[in-house]
Structure formats: structure tokens, C-alpha cells
Amino acid sequence: MRRKGDAARAEDARARRGGFNGMRKDDEIHGATGTSYDFGARLYDSRIMRWLSLDPLAVDYPDQSPYSFAGNNPIYLVDPNGKEIVPSSAFSSNLRASSVFNQLKGTSTFQSGLNQFDGPKPIVHLYLDVQAWERTRFAETAPRSLSPYPFSISITFKQQYLASATDISIAATFLHEMVHAKVFRKFEASGGSVDAKNFPGLQDYGTRHATASTGWQHEMMAVHYRGEIVQGLREMDANNGITDRSGTMSVGGVDVAYSTDQFYEALSWQGLYGTKAYEKLDASTKDLYRGIMRKEAGGGADEVAPYVLPSIEVKPE
């Protein structure tokens, strides 16, 4: 039973703290309760659903009105401080996704990637999301032209995969998608296309593997970026006090022992099946690696499919 006075105290608390987006009320401007809210960087007028001042980061969003709230899309976007537009809580409310993200943020490898999307005037923002889909892919990275969020490159995780996979498998997927995000950022930095002068490595792979069924980014990643994925996994485990990932895997009905090094190596191939580098592995190694990946992913398969990038151009020499 509620005690006498509880309702009044609760009402007083609501009156003091405010409500919309959890922000404090500022009733001094219009002299009426709940007509404006203090977001920290600027004030929001709830009567007209607009800010009372320019967005401090308006230069980063040339396609948005500096007075609009959450990109005029408050169902999918929120604005926590009146400055940056960030995705809704689909990612942050997913305990698996947010937990692995926080674990990876403690590693120098992953943090160096995040730093490329941070700062007072980033070339482009990075936004994270979680969605349910039936496709086999564990996650997808979209360039700015295909991203659902303004002025951003987005990484979206498959909800069902997050529910079944281990933390280390999710971390491997995160590191894989971060490579894609960094590649897309290079395109943004060079005006949407690359050539032999600004990014010769990208131009080379984009030209030589333009028709690869796996996508030229995957062909490049399989050769040049798996070491980065292995290093990130090692750093996360070290931060968590995990030093041994060795074990036994049944391959063709035969128990095969694998080492910690093989464990990380196996996960670095996640999402890179079918690439030329992967196909050069001997059959027993591919069976072992695929078994480790399937086990850590909860039995799922992450098949490679080419990225469709209509707005990104690789110029020939």
C-alpha cells in the first residue's frame, strides 16, 4: 500500500526533473511548465518541436536544418545532448552487442579504428545498429550513400546471431566490419572514389578483383587485414584474463586438437569463405577452421556475398 504523501512527492519529483528525452525542464523562457527543455548544448522548444539555437555541429550535417530535432526522424534517432545524431537504442539495449563493444573499446586495435570516426570534425560518423533478418550474414556495413543514418557509415548486426554466438565470435565479426567501415571512410576522404594516386592499394584490389563473387574488399581483407583481427581478439582476451583458447574439435569424426593460435586464426577467416586466399588452405585446415567458426557462432554460417556499392568508384590507372 502506498503511504500517504507518496503521490505528491512523486509529482513534485516529476515537476522538478522534467520528462521529454529525460531532460530537465527550463520554464523561465516562456513562463509555463514543460515548454522548453535543456539538452546541455542548446534548448528545445516543445511547443514548435524545434531548437531555439543553431546546432553546434551543423557543419557536419549540411543536408539537415540546423534547427531540426533528430534529423526530423525521432522514431529511429535520438539526440542525447543537442549536438550529435545517434541511432536509437536497438544497439545499446542489446546486452550482447553492447558488452562486446565495451570489451573491444579497451583494446588498442579496435580503439584506433573508432578514433577515425571521432573528434570535433570527423569526415563521417560511425553508427551501430541491430536488426532481425533471415539472411545468413552476421552483420553488414553500409557506406554513407546507403546508410539509414545521416552523414554516417553504419554497421548493423543480425539480432539472431547475437543471441546465439559467443563474445569472441561477435568480436571477430565486429573487427571484420570495422575494416569495411575504415575502407568506406577512405572513399569519403577522397570525394567518393579512389585512384592510384590517393589510395593505390584500394585501387589495385578494386581493379584486379572487380568481378570477384566474394567482393574485392573481402579479397583484400583476407590477405592484408586478418592479422589486425587476430591482434584485436588477442587484446580483448588479454584484457579479460583469458590466455588459453586451445581445445579439441571433431573433424570428419576424428578429434583434432587445436592451439590458441589456431583458434584466433580460424575466427579471422569469419566472413571470408570463398576468397582466393581461403581456397589456398588445405582441406583439413579449412574443415578445422570452419568447425571452430560454426561452434563459436552457435551453429550458424556466415556466407560471403559481394558488396553492392553503386556510389563508390575505383578509377583505373
Domain boundary among 86, 105, 134: 86
Q: What's the pLDDT score for residue 302?
A: 65
Residue at 220 is within a domain: yes
How far apart are alpha carbons 35 and 253 in whole angstroms?
69
How far apart are alpha carbons 98 and 170 in whole angstroms?
11
How far apart are alpha carbons 157 and 272 in whole angstroms?
17
Looking at the DSSP bridge assignments, the partners of residue 314 are: 194
Same domain membership, residue 212 and residue 172: yes
The number of distinct structural domains making up the chain is 2
Residue at 155 is within a domain: yes
Same domain membership, residue 232 and residue 195: yes
- What is the residue whose three cell numbers read 565479426? 173
Residue at 235 is within a domain: yes
Same domain membership, residue 131 and residue 262: yes
Q: Grid coordinates in use for 307? A: 558488396
Residue at 175 is within a domain: yes
Q: What's the pLDDT score for residue 292?
A: 92
Residue at 190 is within a domain: yes
Residue at 306 is within a domain: no
Same domain membership, residue 103 and residue 20: no
In single-letter form, the type of residue at position 149 comes to: Y
How far apart are alpha carbons 59 and 64 in whole angstroms?
10
Same domain membership, residue 172 and residue 67: no
Q: Grid coordinates in use for 143? A: 557506406
Same domain membership, residue 208 and residue 284: yes
Q: What's the pLDDT score for residue 80?
A: 55
Judge whether 170 and 96 are in contact, CB under 8 Å.
Answer: yes
Task: Count Cα atoms within 13 angstroms, Cβ side, for 88.
Answer: 9
Across the chain, which has 317 residues, the per-10-residue mean pLDDT values are 48 50 64 66 73 68 67 57 57 91 91 78 81 89 79 89 95 95 83 66 73 83 94 96 92 87 95 92 92 88 51 51
Same domain membership, residue 119 and residue 198: yes
Same domain membership, residue 18 and residue 158: no
Residue in 281, 279, 283, 248 with CA at minimum distance from that of residue 263: 248
The helix (run of H) or strand (run of E) holding residue 264 is helix 260-268
Same domain membership, residue 71 and residue 104: no
Same domain membership, residue 294 and residue 202: yes
**pTM recorded for the entire structure:** 0.72
Q: Grid coordinates in use for 311? A: 556510389
Residue at 270 is within a domain: yes
Residue 247 DSSP label: E
Q: What's the pLDDT score for residue 213?
A: 79
Domain assignment of residue 62, given as a range = 8-86
Q: What's the pLDDT score for residue 28?
A: 66
Residue at 224 is within a domain: yes
Helix ranges (DSSP H) in 106-225? 108-115, 159-164, 167-189, 200-208, 216-224
Same domain membership, residue 132 and residue 65: no
Q: What's the pLDDT score for residue 71?
A: 64
Q: What's the pLDDT score for residue 241?
A: 95
Same domain membership, residue 121 and residue 255: yes
